[in-house]
Structure 1
Amino acid sequence: MLTSVNAELLRALADPLRLRIVCLLTRESLCTTHLVEETGARQTNLSNHLRVLREAGVVETEPCGRFTYYRLRPDALAHLVTFLGDLADGARETAPARRPCG
């Protein structure tokens, strides 16, 4: 079932830059400076995207001196994987089913 949490996660990951950030964070925790270097995005734009990811529960922060490091929250992504897997299973089970028209 599509919940508001799933919808928010899907919306957060639908943006190409946010998806790129998530892919980069699968390898290591990175600060905004690193993400600017890796993506070429402006810091203000990147900060807005990181806020969306944080609010969706995809990333968490870790202060380190004057920098903030970002890392993925694997449990949030695992929840989304389970949701998408359930959708695929449901589609397989109902593939031959068809509602009559009229």
Structure 2
Amino acid sequence: MQCDVNCTAKVLKAIAHPLRLKLLCRLRDQELTVQELVSQSGASQSNVSQHLALLRHKGIVSTRRDASRIYYRIGDPKLLALIMMMQDIYCQKAA
């Protein structure tokens, strides 16, 4: 039980940043490159790259190389479900 609590706290701490949450929401439905995430998030390339590196180091996102491009995706189906649930609860558009 203690490991589950500690592991959960580490994951929540890692995603508890507005830009990281935005990146994860963008990765919800598809793999994207850094440049695509920069374009969609409005943040600088260095900022996006730093946050993706942290998320990758924590095992939250994984990558796939295709020639010179690196595609990012959410690496854990449980985390994907959490992101989807948070979007459904907190990001609903006004009717």
**Same fold? TM cut 0.5:** yes
In structure 2, the gaps of 5 or more residues are 83-95
CA deviation string 1:30-53 (max 9, x = no partner): 000100000011111111100111
Partner of 2:93: none
Q: Distance in 2 between matches of 1:6 and 1:55?
A: 16
Structure 1 stretches of 4+ with a deviation exceeding 4 A read none
For the 8 Å contact 1:59–1:73, the answer to whether it is kept is yes
Match of 1:16 among 18, 22, 41: 18
Partner of 2:36: 34
Partner of 1:49: 51
How far residue 11 of structure 1 moved from its aligned partner, in angstroms, is 1.2
How far residue 25 of structure 1 moved from its aligned partner, in angstroms, is 0.4
Partner of 1:74: 76
Aligned residues: 79
**Bigger radius of gyration among the two:** 1
Normalising by structure 1, what TM-score? Answer: 0.70
**2:51 is aligned with what amino acid?**
H
**1:68 is aligned with what amino acid?**
I
Q: Distance in 2 between matches of 1:42 and 1:71?
A: 19
Normalising by structure 2, what TM-score? Answer: 0.74
For the 8 Å contact 1:30–1:70, the answer to whether it is kept is yes
How far residue 7 of structure 1 moved from its aligned partner, in angstroms, is 2.3
How large is the RMSD of aligned CA atoms in angstroms? 1.8
In structure 1, the gaps of 5 or more residues are 82-102
How far residue 76 of structure 1 moved from its aligned partner, in angstroms, is 5.0
